[in-house]
Amino acid sequence: MTILELTFLVGIGALAAGFLGSLTGLGGGVVIVPLLVLAFKIDIRYAIGASLVSVIATSSGAAAAYVREGFSNIRIGMFLEIATTFGAIAGAFLAAHLSTNGIAIIFGLVLLYSAFLSSHPKSDLPSHDPPDPLATRLRLNGSYPTPEGPQSYNVYHVPLGFSLMFVAGALSGLLGIGSGAVKVLAMDKAMRIPFKVSTTTSNFMIGVTAAASAGIYLHRGYIDPGLAMPVMLGVLAGSLLGTRVLVRASVRPLRLVFSLVILALAVEMIYNGFTGRL
């Protein structure tokens, strides 16, 4: 396979990864890292480095569209980024002390959870519980557009969500995936934020989280421009396409396909990690 052919195939794979990742808020790295490792036999640390660059580009592109549409909650994103940034730095340092197979196994387990999370979305029915005092004090409550008009929502369990965001940041630094799975868990499940708001706010946040750990990977020489460029362009294009679909259509069938794909990738990553093939 020539360099041109490899670049083209990596770009196509990154396009699909960015599209699927944008629809779920899990980030294209959930697909692109195992794709590079399993299909193209690229060292997992270089795959993570390329993924982190693409995550930054994805957040820059997709987040702007979501903010313009009125879905992302900027106050929630900036508040929770405090935890994810510190977590990302810790995860990037931890990556230097784990073996390639160990990282692959952890990645596979995160993928399994991501598949479950993607296939079990929470309905966006408004909550009738009284507002959380801390969320009210921090002005985290907001609204988002729906076909029937703006829908208000309240935020709950702020300390729990903040703690989960540190874990999300650590996974981002360790695995280069944007840690959307844990971010969606924290916002959608723990903090009870509507799914579209948690998804779009996750896209807004992942760039800052990735940037915190990308510098460490760059310093260690794990970011190859020849690999990072097609990955970044493909994921960015796919994420921008995904934003157009998310704000206008029901994405349940695509979420099901996404969960099945990453379930297969999870099994393959865990198997290869335990058998020492990476």
256-275 pLDDT per residue, tens? 766 777 788 788 888 888 88
Measured CA to CA, the distance from residue 94 to residue 90 in angstroms comes to 6
Q: 118-169 pLDDT, tens per residue?
A: 666 555 555 567 778 998 999 999 888 887 888 888 899 899 989 988 988 8
Which pLDDT value is given to residue 231? 93
Region 20-47: mean pLDDT is 80
Judge residue 69's burial from the number of C-beta atoms within 10 Å of its C-beta, 0-12 exposed, 13-18 middle, 19 or more buried.
middle
Q: Residue 179 — pLDDT band, cuts 50, 70, 90?
A: low
Q: 83-94 pLDDT, tens per residue?
A: 988 888 888 888
**263: which strand partners?**
none
Which pLDDT value is given to residue 46? 92
Q: 53-82 pLDDT, tens per residue?
A: 887 876 666 667 777 778 888 899 889 989
The candidate with the shortest Cα–Cα distance to 145, out of 62, 72, 206, 202, is: 72
Which pLDDT value is given to residue 149? 84
Average pLDDT, the chain: 81
Distance of CA 160 to the CA centre of its chain: 19
Please indicate whether residue 239 or residue 218 has the higher confidence score (pLDDT).
218
Which pLDDT value is given to residue 263? 82
φ and ψ at 132, to 5 degrees? -70, 130
> For the chain, what are the domain ranges?
3-275
> Cα torsion for 110, 116, 119, 121, to the nearest 10°?
-90
Which residues are CB-contacts of 260 (< 8 A; sequence separation ≥ 6)?
Answer: 115
Q: Residue 223 — pLDDT band, cuts 50, 70, 90?
A: very high
Q: Does residue 50 register a pLDDT over 70?
A: yes
Measured CA to CA, the distance from residue 85 to residue 253 in angstroms comes to 33
Q: Does residue 183 register a pLDDT over 60?
A: yes
Region 101-129: mean pLDDT is 72
15-19, 35-39, 111-115, 162-166 — which is least confidently predicted?
A: 111-115
Q: What would the two tokens of residue 252 be?
A: 């349940």
Q: 224-253 pLDDT, tens per residue?
A: 999 999 999 998 888 778 777 766 666 566
Find where tokens 């796919």 sit. Answer: 238
**Could you give the percent of the chain with pLDDT greater than 70?**
82
